[in-house]
Amino acid sequence: MWTKAVDIYSVREIRTRSELFLGVGAMGRLGELLKILKEHGADPLLLLTGKRSFRRSGAEKEVMTALKESGMKWSTFVSSEPEIPELEKAAEFGAANGAKAVLAAGGGHVMDAGKILALLLAQKEKRGVKALLDPSFVPDGVLPLLAVNLSHGSGSENNPLALLSCPKEKWSRFLRSELFYPWKTICDPSFAVTVPKQATRCSAVNAVSHALESVAGEETNALSILLAHEIVRLVATYLPQVEKDPSDLEGRYFLQFASLLSGLASDNGGVRFAHALAHPLRFLRPGLPHELGVSVLLPGVLKRLYPACGKVLASVLAPIVPDLTGSAEEAQEASCGLENWISACGVKLSSDDAAFLRENLDELVETSYQDPCLAQLLSTSPLEPSRDAVRSLFDDALTSARGGEQAE
């Protein structure tokens, strides 16, 4: 396998629309990047962090040292989700402190929030978060966004997408802007070893979801198909390695690389059903991780996508569901194979969560139809959504098999 020829301790620069530094020791590049920002007048800086990962990973010490040595001024805002009330507070805080750059250190939600804040803080006239939902809004520009990725699986480190949600009103939107690509991103697997086991599993399956959904729509292209093959193969190979030894840096490196590829895949091929319907699960069951919702829904989504896209999906799925031919008749087989693999990875709803959501199935369906994210993500999907179809998909996902027992 080509991955054995990669020196994970040699930090390499990967150039896409963003510029990424990948490798053990990549955090050591932070100081020079901060100095570049300072030299170009992007000082002071808004430091955006997660509630736990920043300190738990050891990134806090490294980032603070680099900031002090660079001579940069900064102010810190702690954020866990890209939700409107919290983003409004962060934007007010950043503006009051004169932020001219944003450093987002955390997982996908923190990087999403960083993208939104970098855009809002660059506007000459004060703009609220909801201005980003106005199709007539033309931004003046964007502040430099320096991302420090402390997880693997969201793809946010390498795409122009940002999730914006309003749980109180039960809606969410995927925002897309050419200005959302991070200026620079640091991916150092040393700082992902403390990601909890369940989060590691769910984030890796989320990367697989990006891969599968990116090859099943009108935007699918040769690049998204190529990327999807490699994402699934990398996750299938290295997730078990990290499961066995969470401190395995080779495994963490290639899970971060798979995440990087998943951002590029979603940029080219899009994300759809599983990502759209994961949001209502969280609205009804606060605290349910987005990636877990995606993972639970993915087998049912695959079953419905397979008849239209079976040839490509069979090929992409080969590392985890071998011997598929792509015929429409094997959609159920493909779905069960994927479900068994996800379950074997240890990704399942708790029985309490599954029971609660089943009891509120009607509300789940209606919440999905109130959420503009559903129509947004399905606009290029081969599926024709209806309430019955959405109900059926939720019903599949919330059976006892996915509520804590492995599928047969």
Residue 113: which CATH number?
3.40.50.1970
Backbone angles phi, psi at 333, to 5 degrees: -65, -45
What is the per-residue pLDDT for 387? 81
Which residues, in sequence order, are CB contacts of 78 under 8 Å at separation 6+?
A: 48, 49, 50, 51, 54
The enclosing H or E element of 172 equals strand 171-176
317 touches 335 (CB < 8 A): no
Q: How far apart are CA 62 and CA 31, in angstroms?
A: 9
For residue 134, the enclosing domain spans: 2-191
Residues 159 and 308 in one domain: no
| pLDDT in the model for residue 173 | 83
Tokens representing 234 are 């990398």
Name 176's bridge partners.
Answer: 161
What's residue 275's pLDDT? 83
How high is the pLDDT of residue 253?
A: 98
The CATH number for 374's domain is: 1.20.1090.10
Say what the pLDDT of residue 103 is: 98
pLDDT < 70 stretches in the chain: 272, 371, 373-385, 400-408
Which residue, 191, 212, 244, sits at the end of a domain? 191
52 neighbors 104 (Cβ within 8 angstroms) = no
Task: Quote the pLDDT of residue 373.
Answer: 67
Q: Count the residues in the chain.
A: 408
Q: Give the separation between CA 60 and CA 66, rounded to whole angstroms.
A: 10
User: What's the structural domain count of the chain?
Assistant: 2
45 and 174 part of one domain = yes
- Claim to verify: residue 343 and residue 221 sit in the same structural domain: yes
pLDDT for res 400: 44
Please say whether the beta carbons of 408 and 386 come within 8 A.
Answer: no
Is residue 201 domain-shared with residue 182, that is, in the same domain? no
Q: How far apart are CA 358 and CA 55, in angstroms?
A: 37
Q: How far apart are CA 369 and CA 363, in angstroms?
A: 10
Residue at 402 is within a domain: no
Quick one: 245 and 175 in the same domain?
A: no
Beta-strand runs (E) in 32-169:
45-49, 74-78, 102-106, 145-149, 161-166
Check residue 283 and give its pLDDT. Answer: 87
Assigned domain for 407 exists: no
Same domain? For 163 and 39 the reply is yes
0.75 surpassed by pTM: yes
User: Looking at residue 265, what DSSP letter applies?
Assistant: H
Which pLDDT belongs to residue 402? 44
Separation of alpha carbons 172 and 175, rounded Å: 9
Q: Output the pLDDT for position 113.
A: 96
E strand or H helix at 313? helix 290-317
Give pLDDT, residue 405.
Answer: 40
In a domain, 380, yes or no: yes
178 and 68 part of one domain: yes
